[in-house]
Amino acid sequence: MNNVLLSVLITTLSATACRAAAVPSPVDDASELEAGIAKQLPRLARMTFHPSFELFEDAGKPWPQDKALGALWVHEVDDRLRVDGAAYEPGGTLLVSERGEDHYRHRIQRLSSSGTALSSFTVSGYYESILAGDLGGKPSLVTQDMYQVQVLDRDGTPRWKDSRPMESAVLCDLDGDGKGELVGAVARYKNLVQALSADGRLRWEAALPADSLLNVAAASLGGKEGTLVAAFSARRGRATVFILDGNGRTVLDYPDDTSPELGALGRLPDGSPFIATVGSRWQSGHSRLRISRLSGRTKKLEAESDLGPIHAVSMALADLDADRSPEVLLGTDNGWVMVFDLKARRLSQRHFFGSIPSLAAGGLEPDGSQWAYAAVRGVTSRVYGIRLHPGLGILKALPVAAPSAGTEPPKSPAWSKEIDGALEAFLEKGPDGPAVFEAEGTLWAGDAGDAFLRWLAAEGMLPKPRDGKEPLARYDALLSRDRRKAKELAATLLAGMKEAEVRGLAGRFFSQRFYGRIYRPVTDLVARLRATGRPVWIASDSPRWIVEAGIEFLEIEPERVAAMDLVVQDGVLTAKLKKPAVKKALGRRPSLVVGGSEDGDALLRSSSGRALLITHGRADPGLLKTARKKGWLVQDFP
């Protein structure tokens, strides 16, 4: 945060009172459960014990007596990395795809069924998911993205790659010969469903009458239906689901007003094939789960359920209770894993801190049940092994807020006693006045502005510079030399785009790809400040629109953001940096400043009351020395 922006912020602060926000009561049941659960759950792999995560909350009594659904082990990803996805390998192992700041290089971890790390290798590509299974009678790994498809051996040795831009894909046995094929949606330039043989040759392709293909699903059902492929498409604002056979011929197509983006195929208890879909464009923005029976060229809706204002980003079928009828698992972008039966009744749910980019079903256990695996991408990424476990039903499940709140952040862990006491004293005794939070590194992990720009560039949505160079080339070159000027340049890279478009893209990016990085303890502090009527301001050197997208989740007014801005003409962003107008001099400095980076040093020094330095397992030694000298509060959250 540069001093110019800081001075502008201080002089433009307003003492306008914020709306009071209710603070949830603390959850005390974790300590009550810890001892009992610890005796019954095996500590597998690098078991990090989180009692509040262990049990799923039951809706009614869906499970057999004395059994409960729970996360029995957790694999923690290195803090420098994030999880992209997980895939189950026939034979009982799990693959976890991880990457760091280099989006092109990924580490693939192979875990045992109990979460123990077995091996790892490196794979290159811009993909964000991985497939594992049989391809041509040989265990294979597949990665696909908007640029290429890549097939590898189990040890990561490349087998072949092709420049087909498959944005979603599945492995399945199309012709019933016991050997798998690759089916994917080619959504860029052409709207095709293509099937590839083990050597990469095209088996068939189906051109669908659509403007875009959102996803594909497939299942080898056996019987007279054989293999079915489902493609989810949109055209002129209307969504259509296409059902294809193993030869790429359309068997059935039907409109769906929920605009489904995810689906799975299976069999009902009576043996009939079904499709489960979830879409996020139902009434009032609510998502809706639908279970439909398929019979030849007809489809019959069997059951549906309103999921509330959530956005599902992952889906899997798994027979958790060995009743020969799979459950539907959904993962959302704000951390919920929900379990439904085939009558669309919610059986269980649990909140994890982050988004759920991947769910995977495991193989059959001796009792006929299956594990499920959930990849959680947040400030710290984790993979959880989930199954129905005997002996847990006697324990009381932790209370958990219903997911109807949609994107509302959950209750966070407690502050340290020392910090909590100091904050309580500040909230009760003052001084009054505005509180100022640094965005990057304090409200959320990482740089939202930088991540947003790189996402826009990867999607080809940034305007091309006049010199014809890549949009981020000059920005990256400047970033290592002069961060302040680089951040100013970053905002101007949006010039030429419509402001409404940038605002919409920022909202989409943050909710789907950055929400899990919000630091929940700081979110709670914001709520407590608002409850006392103190205005909360956010300072950032990122483009204004991405910061505003983030603070929606904190219920902070957009006019209380001091960030990089551009002059707007006729609804279009220009390259002229806009200096925030000085509305009214505050007459005093902020009463509380919260920051967490070297750039926040000047911001912390500006406080007339309390200054709180947030660290996350790391801190600049010079900043810590200043904190001790100035008497700042220091809180570390791992």
Residues 89 and 110: their CA atoms lie apart, in Å, by: 9
Provide the whole-model pTM. Answer: 0.59
Model pLDDT, residue 109:
92
Taking 50 as the threshold, does the pLDDT of residue 210 lie above it? yes
Residues 86 and 84: their CA atoms lie apart, in Å, by: 7
Structure token pair of residue 431: 């001084």
Residues 118 and 50: their CA atoms lie apart, in Å, by: 23
Structure token pair of residue 260: 């489904």
- More confident: 226 or 601: 226
Task: Count CA atoms within 13 Å of residue 617 on its CB side.
Answer: 7
Q: Which residues touch 29 (CB under 8 Å, ≥6 apart)?
A: 396, 398, 399
What is 268-309 written as a DSSP string?
-TTS-EEEEEEES-SGGG-EEEEEEEEETTEEEEEEEEEEES
233 strand-pairing partners: 213, 240
Residue 293 burial (10 A CB sphere; 0-12, 13-18, 19+): middle
Most confident of the following: 30-39, 109-118, 131-140, 594-603: 131-140
133 CA to centre of own chain: 25
Torsion of CA 13, 14, 15, 16, to 10 degrees: -140
Residue 112 burial (10 A CB sphere; 0-12, 13-18, 19+): middle
Model pLDDT, residue 22:
29
How would you classify the pairing of strands 610-615 and 592-595?
Answer: parallel
Q: Are 384 and 86 in contact (CB under 8 A)?
A: no
Residues 237 and 257: their CA atoms lie apart, in Å, by: 10
Q: Are 389 and 68 in contact (CB under 8 A)?
A: yes
Residue 638 burial (10 A CB sphere; 0-12, 13-18, 19+): exposed
Is the fold of 3-24+411-636 the same as that of 29-405? no
Q: Are 172 and 264 in contact (CB under 8 A)?
A: no
Residue with tokens 């209370």: 399
Element (H, E) at 52: helix 51-54
Sheet holding 212-220, edge to edge: 212-220, 227-235, 238-245, 250-255
Q: Which residues of 45-79 are buried (b: 16+ CB within 10 A; e: fewer)?
A: bebeebbbbbbbbbeeebbeeebbbbbbbbbebee
Q: List pLDDT tens digits, range 358-370.
A: 999 998 888 889 9
Confidence of residue 45 (pLDDT cuts 50, 70, 90): very low
How would you classify the pairing of strands 610-615 and 633-636?
Answer: parallel
Structure token pair of residue 493: 């890279």
85 strand-pairing partners: 97
Of 273, 193, 185, the C-alpha closest to 225 is: 273
Q: List pLDDT tens digits, range 48-100.
A: 333 334 577 777 667 776 677 888 788 888 877 888 889 999 888 999 998 87
Each domain of the chain, given as residue ranges in start order, spans 3-24+411-636, 29-405
Confidence of residue 261 (pLDDT cuts 50, 70, 90): confident
Residues 174 and 197: their CA atoms lie apart, in Å, by: 10
User: Integer distance in angstroms from the first to the last C-alpha of the chain?
Assistant: 23
Q: List pLDDT tens digits, range 537-567.
A: 998 889 999 999 888 878 788 888 888 999 9
Q: List pLDDT tens digits, range 383-424.
A: 998 988 764 443 333 333 333 333 333 334 457 888 888 988
Structure token pair of residue 531: 């409850």
Beta strands in 457-557 (DSSP E): 536-543
Q: Collapsing DSSP states into helix, strand and coil, what is residue 485?
A: helix
Q: Are 152 and 141 in contact (CB under 8 A)?
A: yes
- CB atoms under 10 Å from CB of 481, counted, come to 8
Q: Collapsing DSSP states into helix, strand and coil, what is residue 378?
A: coil
Residues 201 and 151: their CA atoms lie apart, in Å, by: 12
Residues 631 and 592: their CA atoms lie apart, in Å, by: 13
Structure token pair of residue 542: 């990122």
Fill in the DSSP letter of residue 209. Answer: S
Sheet holding 273-279, edge to edge: 260-267, 273-279, 287-295, 298-308
Selected from 3.40.50.300, 3.30.1330.10, 1.10.10.10, 3.40.50.1000, the CATH number assigned to the domain covering 3-24+411-636 reads: 3.40.50.1000
Model pLDDT, residue 588:
65
Q: Are 69 and 54 in contact (CB under 8 A)?
A: no
Handedness of CA 526, 527, 532, 537 (dihedral sign): positive
Residues 385 and 360: their CA atoms lie apart, in Å, by: 10
Q: Are 293 and 221 in contact (CB under 8 A)?
A: no
Segment 108-113 mean pLDDT: 90
Q: How far are the Cα atoms of 14, 434, 562, 593 from residue 588, in angstroms, in the given order? A: 11, 10, 17, 13
Q: Which fold has domain 29-405?
A: Methylamine Dehydrogenase; Chain H (2.130.10)
Q: List pLDDT tens digits, range 423-482.
A: 889 988 888 888 999 888 888 877 899 989 988 887 788 888 777 777 788 888 888 788
Model pLDDT, residue 10:
41
Model pLDDT, residue 89:
93
Give the 3-state DSSP-derived string for 568-605, with helices as H, strands as E and coil as C. EECCEEEEEECCCCCCCCCCCCCCEEEECCHHHHHHHH
